[in-house]
Structure 1
Amino acid sequence: MLPNLRQTYFIIFAGCTSLILTALYMQYQMGLHPCPLCVTQRIFVIVVGLIALAAALHNPKGFGNKIYSGLGLVSGLIGAGVSARHVWIQNLPEDQVPACGPGLEYMFETFPLFDALALLFQGDGNCADVVWSFLGLSIPAWTFVAFAGLVALCFWQGLRKA
């Protein structure tokens, strides 16, 4: 028996929560500090999770479900795009890697908000470092896989009848 819409939204929320807890574990217990693109990916995981939580609590029917699933789908696709860019940067030849930029705190203290956000999405040389991998895939590659699953679930939710 398949889970109903509400249960599936809670599953999406739980998955996003697990991803963020894993990222925090890697940061604070393993000492793997996030680069700007990592932070951006985290933001989109949180956005998808919050949309799913809102949908689970609201338990929408019909068009409302399509709105929530569409918002989750778009957020997941943007996150997947950021992950794909990150993997691309990691696979560039050394001479083509962008220069390392300023730290996140400095960016948000010094630049206007939209300029800081643009720099965050762009990534820098710090993003090219592969600091951890599992089964030959880096953290951004695994995050891309996670976004692909979240996108698939959100798409499926939009097709389902309430």
Structure 2
Amino acid sequence: MSIFGAQPRKVLALVCAACVAMLAFGLYLQHVVGLEPCPMCIVQRYALILLAVFALVGALLPGNGGRKTFATLGLLAAGFGAFVAARQSFLQWYPPEFASCGRDFYGMIETFPLQRAIPMIFKGSGDCTAIDWTFLGGSIANWSFVCFVVLGLVLLAVLLGRPQRVRRVGDR
């Protein structure tokens, strides 16, 4: 048995479903509530999409080897998403003295070469330091960090779990 007595395939499918639910909630906040995502929020969405895709592919693969490979890729995506969320949380707690509402994410990517745009994204703009929504005292970035860490721990448990033995007819 693997973690929580569940099969790794089912756990990966649940990770994918959790990512889809988080993405849907982000779109709800954007399109219904009216919150505009900052550059770091968009990068976190991309990390969630990657994590969902890796978990889905891992759940659909028949063997343990491929499943573990995609769980590892998902763990890397979760780690990257947690890093970006932690950086945004840090910027919210300790905003820079001179925060400007610079270019949006797509404007940075279109205007600057990638090697200049990526550091600009992680500096955070004035938008990244703003806290427009909270739940139980935590901002979106705080909760995003918690979710990435939890999903990463679940994937780590899948990776560290014992491979399941294939049962044959007549085995007890």
Percent of aligned positions that are identical: 35
Equivalences, count: 160
Looking at structure 1, the residues matched to 70 and 85 of structure 2 have their Cα atoms a distance apart, in angstroms, of 22
- Gaps of at least 5 residues in structure 1 are none
1:159 Cα deviation (Å)? Answer: 1.0
Report the residue type matching 1:111 in the other structure.
F
RMSD, matched Cα: 1.7
Equivalence for 1:21:
24
Equivalence for 1:130:
131
Q: Where does 1:1-12 land on structure 2 (aligned, <5 Å)?
A: 2-12=5-15
Equivalence for 1:34:
37
User: Which of 59, 63, 66 is equivalent to 1:64?
Assistant: 66
**Cα distance per residue 1:25-60 (max 9 Å; x no partner):** 000000000000100111111111100011011133
Q: Where does 1:110-129 land on structure 2 (aligned, <5 Å)?
A: 110-129=111-130
Report the residue type matching 2:63 in the other structure.
P
Report the residue type matching 1:85 in the other structure.
R
**1:48 and 2:51 are equivalent in the alignment:** yes
**Mapped contact 1:32–1:131 kept (Cα < 8 A):** yes
**Cα distance per residue 1:88-120 (max 9 Å; x no partner):** 00011562x543321223222211234333322
Report the residue type matching 1:88 in the other structure.
F
**Cα distance per residue 1:52-74 (max 9 Å; x no partner):** 0110111331x333322211111
Report the residue type matching 2:127 in the other structure.
N
Looking at structure 2, the residues matched to 53 and 120 of structure 1 have their Cα atoms a distance apart, in angstroms, of 28
Distance 1:148 1:98, change over 3 A: same
Is 133-142 or 110-119 further displaced after alignment? 110-119
State the secondary structure of the residue aligned to 1:37.
helix
**Mapped contact 1:98–1:125 kept (Cα < 8 A):** yes
Looking at structure 2, the residues matched to 125 and 13 of structure 1 have their Cα atoms a distance apart, in angstroms, of 32
Looking at structure 2, the residues matched to 90 and 105 of structure 1 have their Cα atoms a distance apart, in angstroms, of 22
- Report the structure number with the largest CA radius of gyration: 2
**Mapped contact 1:44–1:79 kept (Cα < 8 A):** yes
TM-score, with length taken from structure 1: 0.91
Is 66-75 or 125-134 further displaced after alignment? 66-75
Equivalence for 1:82:
84
**Mapped contact 1:37–1:122 kept (Cα < 8 A):** no
